[in-house]
Amino acid sequence: CAHLPPQPWPNNINQANKVALLAWVKETGTKLVQINGQRRYGGPPPGWAGKPPRFGTEVFIGKLPQDMYENELIPLFQSVGKLYEFRLMMTFSGLNRGFAYAKYSTRRDAKEAIATLHNREVRQGCAILVCRSTEKCELSLDGLAPALARCQLEATLRRVTEGLLTISLHPSPYRRQAQLALLKYSSHHAAAMAKKILVEGNMKLVGLETKVDWLKTDLKQKLQSCEENPAPSQDQEAKCPGLPRALVPRDALTRLNTLCQRWYLGTPVFLTKCVQATPSGWLRFWCQVAIPGCPLSFSGFVWVQQDRLGRSGHEQAKVAVALHILRMLGESSP
């Protein structure tokens, strides 16, 4: 049954066009769903079989008259190709926010929409903008506490957002004693909704305010450069982002084992894998630690370099991760 969810629209704002929209929905059987400041058709549409369209099939629509709705827009954009999804950004008053997104079944249809409808005059003196959507899927989350573990952040994000694919933590290049997270989502829609939720929710993690933004190319390149050429340090015992050198005791593994025994959690199990080596001798390890009595596993990346004691990179990586877990548990003081 086609329906529009109940709307908190003031009756005196654009009433005629709202009535026309409701009549069109009832007549055509079109289903529109409104959530988080946007109204969506399709995704997938009725009768769709198979996977969602690939990257490059979405167009951005701008300069829309704010009193224009789907009863005019969807037929217009369907006239040039098969729509998979149409999303109109809405205000609380029931007016649109002046822009929308249309995702087509093929890239050819998306190109046809741009060629045919860009600068189309939809009202007298009102030409719309239609261009390729960037379909950004990555966000940056800056200002995270240095003691925040990846598993903690991931658990929070999965609770409040949808479609999270990957997450990585890095020392913040903009704030001292802070971490920056790179988040990748399954689609532009999922990333946009996550950004809206995180910004409007004024999310705080471990007492620090965070800044949420689309991931910029220069920031991504800067972080990649830091990973490929980590800064040298006099302390080569272990490198755990965000942890002062003074907090890298050599007995971190023993202390973690003792703590787990004291809390009856069982013996931690470490998995380490070297995933990168630089010409200067630095090794990047992916590490995971499972503690039998703890429902969460701890995982992430760490840089290490051969030390004077002759320990292997795997041993140093274990020390770094053990220290990180101790820091999380408030047990980092010697």
Model pTM greater than 0.75?
Answer: no
Contacts of 86 (CB under 8 A, 6+ apart): 40, 41, 42, 70, 73, 74, 77, 100, 101, 102, 103
Estimate to the nearest angstrom the gap between the alpha carbon of 258 and the chain centroid. Answer: 37
Evaluate whether residue 236 is within a structural domain.
no
Evaluate whether residue 6 is within a structural domain.
no
- Picking from 108, 132, 156, the residue at the C-terminal end of a domain is 132
Query: Is a pLDDT exceeding 90 seen at residue 7?
Result: no
Least-confidence region, from 114-118, 200-204, 211-215, 233-237: 233-237
- Specify burial of residue 207 (Cβ count, 10 A radius: 0-12, 13-18, 19+): exposed
Residue 12's pLDDT band, with cuts at 50, 70 and 90, is: low
Place of tokens 């532009």: 188
Per the DSSP assignment, residues forming a β-bridge with 205 are 208
What's the CATH code of the domain at 299? 3.30.160.20
Quote the pLDDT of residue 245: 37
Quote the pLDDT of residue 297: 62
Domain housing 162: 138-225
Q: Are 314 and 284 in contact (CB under 8 A)?
A: no
Evaluate whether residue 237 is within a structural domain.
no
Report which DSSP code applies to 264: T
- Same domain for 24 and 48, yes or no, is yes
The sheet with strand 269-277 has its strands ordered as: 269-277, 282-290, 297-305
- Same domain for 154 and 78, yes or no, is no
- Picking from 89, 106, 132, the residue at the C-terminal end of a domain is 132
